[in-house]
Structure 1
Amino acid sequence: MTIMEQGGAAPQAASGLIKETTTQSFVKDVIEESKHQPVLIDFWAPWCGPCRTLTPIIEKAVMAAKGRVKLVKMNIDEHPDIPGQMGIQSIPAVIAFVDGRPADGFMGAVPESQVTAFIDKLTAGMPGAEPTVAELLKEAETILAEGDAAGAAAVYAEVIAADAASIPALAGLAKCYVATGALEQAKQTLELVPAAKREDAAVKAVQAAIDLVEQAAALGPVTELEQKVAANPLDHQARFDLAIALNAAGQRPEATSHLLEIVKRDRKWNEDGARKQLIQFFEAWGPTDEATLDGRKRLSTILFS
């Protein structure tokens, strides 16, 4: 069986990243080649259904790696000696060779995300290697945290170009749009997230942030709300609105303090509305944000003291 018969991969094979090997060429194709870059050896057979499932997945992942790793395939029916020597008892089996020796591996028709993660782990830190998806996402997070929403958006877009279904990248790009006030673009980006993934923490955080911005837009200026609270400290609605407006202005600790003040004065106000609003803040800010950590601690002190 040719590569094209197995998985339609003849065009990819022409790139030099994917090829078939034999018992005679195994040392050259795998052992020697792995001294230059990691090589995956995929043991398969024509009668193996899971092999046909894995073929397009692993070939796509190898091509997406853009030269960081090569794929060599071996038909165990035609070439049983090598898999026998390596103790391969079940297929599909994929073994990674690095510097002439087996380094890692997996068995079965695993999902694309697992194959990509396997390759990323295998090639992490390689000189001249293109950054992995995980590295790009981390870079984008860092850039956004530094206040460069446009720069972060460019990196997230790079990830989406390679993987249009990347939930972290879609959520990250939407977050960038929120940071620049482009709420419609943020909403349109979130619409690209499959319904089954809408409960993802990153997606929910961006949706919460959008909701908070829209809430704040319906309120008056911060100074007017501050005057209302100063004139009547028991005006919980004014204090509640002030907290939302302060959050929209980036004053998270102050926003937290006002909602906590309501919780302390009247926990049942507006059906526990102040505490619920705090939880929405925490969700939008993210679990590791300093304001979230401090706010949760202060809220617990009030609730359980």
Structure 2
Amino acid sequence: MSTRDNPYAVPGDTAGGTMRAGVDFGAPEQSRTPGRPSLLDLENGPVAEGLIKEASTASFTADVIQESRRQPVLVDFWAPWCGPCKQLTPVLEQAVRQAGGKVRLVKMNIDEHPAIAGQLGIQSIPAVIAFKDGQPVDGFMGAVPESQIKQFIDKLGGGGDRIGEALETAKAAADEGDSQTAAQIYSAILQEEPDQVDALAGLAGLLFDAGQADKAAALLDRVPAAKSDAPAVAAIRARMALAEQVAALGDPEALAARLEADPDDHQARFDLALIANAQGRREEAAEHLLHIIRKDRSWNDDAARAKLLELFEAWGPGDPATLSARRRLSSLLFS
């Protein structure tokens, strides 16, 4: 659409598409304290509702002008017949979600609601205008690439790694035994980013630890195929696979009795290692497997070493048990 045939141009506007500031869409909101929203309110649930919404001329003051006094609001002017609009909108929505709620997106169909676009002097679409403190402050036109959109949002102060900070908070809560708080944070993240892999894996781990393996598996099924090998996902899947193996191992007391009668009963020691790991005794599990490797490295086609490597993956590369056992394994293999 050209400047000449755009029905939304302001009469007499010769700015060639420049976005004008200072348009008055309504009275300022009274007695509102500016401030950024947090990721979630642990009592009332996530605050991310309405992160992306459709607006009308009637709702523009509330959805854009008033809301922009809390955080930046992007307004996407589009129309159903506009091909570039269809290219831009999903990329724009994804960028807003990744900003973690520090910016909001309002979409306006200019065919149904032409007045606002006319007041702003929109010369072509797609057009995106950013509002802060009740006023339009910046904008761009056309189906720009994702990287440019992210830079635009960062410039508004909508960047930052809120999701990363929330993930760290959730992990800290889980490590301290506060599973309820961790689960609430992971759930809030997933309401903003349904495919957030670390949150999916974290919540699945909490469900698995609570004895809800079926729900944990169902949650992992939501992981996008392209991210199925992510470390957090691999770790929880490894834990679940180990638990299935341990369930078929039998009575640990009987295995301990076998080992006491014959210290070279490597199968009994191997099974006890899996049970120790399932019960959270990682150093003990590693010691059993390292003992087998030291005594008979080739036992059962190198099964002890293979299992130890599997445990490293489940524990994570930074776990103290992983670091200690990996050093000892290296000494056994390369000394």
- One-letter code aligned to 2:103: V
SS of equivalent to 1:303: helix
1:154 CA drift (Å): 2.0
Q: 1:150 to 1:79 in 2, by over 3 A?
A: closer
What is the TM-score when the length of structure 2 is the normalising length?
Answer: 0.63
Runs of 5+ in structure 2 lacking a partner? Answer: 1-5, 9-52, 108-116
Taking the aligned partners of 1:172 and 1:117, their CA distance within structure 2 comes to 31
Q: Which residue of 2 aligns with 1:275?
A: 305
Q: Is the Cα–Cα contact under 8 Å of residues 273 and 286 in structure 2 kept in the other structure?
A: yes
Find the counterpart in structure 1 of residue 232 from structure 2.
202
Q: Quote the residue 2:145 is aligned against.
A: 109
Do the aligned residues in 1 keep the contact of 2:73 with 2:130 (CA within 8 Å)?
yes
Equivalent residue, structure 1, for 2:244: 214
1:257–1:66: structure 2 CA closer, same or farther, 3 Å change rule? closer
- AA aligned to 1:264 is R
Kept in 2, the 8 Å contact 1:259–1:275? The answer is yes
Cα 1:293–1:67 change in 2 (3 A) is closer
TM-score by length of 1: 0.69
The 5 A counterparts of 1:54-203 are: 54-59=88-93, 61-62=95-96, 68-69=102-103, 108-110=144-146, 115=150, 122-123=157-158, 132-203=162-233
Contact 1:18 1:71 in 2 (8 A): no
Offset at 1:51?
Answer: 6.0
- Partners in 2 of 1:117 and 1:223 — Cα distance? 63
Q: 1:248: which partner in 2? A: 278
Q: Is the partner of 1:293 in helix, strand or coil? A: helix
More helix by percentage: 1
> Structure 1: how far apart are the matches of 2:57 and 2:241?
45
Which residue is 1:53 aligned to? 87
The 1:297/1:64 distance shift into structure 2, 3 A limit, reads: closer
Cα distance change, pair 260–298 in 1 and its aligned pair in 2 (3 A): same
- Alpha-carbon offset, residue 148 of structure 1: 2.6
Asked whether the 8 Å contact 1:57–1:111 carries over to 2, the reply is: no
Aligned-partner Cα distance in 1 for 2:297–2:247: 26
State whether residues 240 and 274 of structure 1, in contact with CA within 8 Å, keep that contact through their aligned partners in structure 2.
yes
Summarize the Cα distance change of 1:43–1:299 in structure 2 as closer, same or farther, 3 Å threshold: farther
Alignment CA distance shift 1:66-1:252 (3 Å): closer
* One-letter amino acid matched to 2:251: P
Per the TM alignment, residue 303 of structure 1 is displaced from its structure 2 partner at its CA by 0.8
Question: Conserved in 1, the CA contact under 8 Å of 2:276 and 2:284?
Answer: yes
Higher relative contact order (CA 8 A, sep 6+): 2
| Counterpart pick for 2:323 among 293, 297, 304 | 293
Report the CA distance shift for 1:137/1:276 in structure 2 as closer, same or farther (over 3 A).
same
Displacement after TM superposition at 1:147 (Å): 2.1
Identity %: 45
Question: What RMSD, in angstroms, separates the aligned Cα atoms of the two structures?
Answer: 4.5
Q: Which amino acid aligns with 1:109?
A: P
For 1:99-138, what per-residue CA distance to the aligned partner results, in whole angstroms no more than 9, with x for missing partners? 9999xxxx942189x849965994478xxxxx92222222
Taking a change above 3 Å as real, the CA distance of residues 240 and 92 of structure 1, as seen in their structure-2 partners, is farther
Q: Number of paired residues? A: 268
Which is greater in Rg? 2
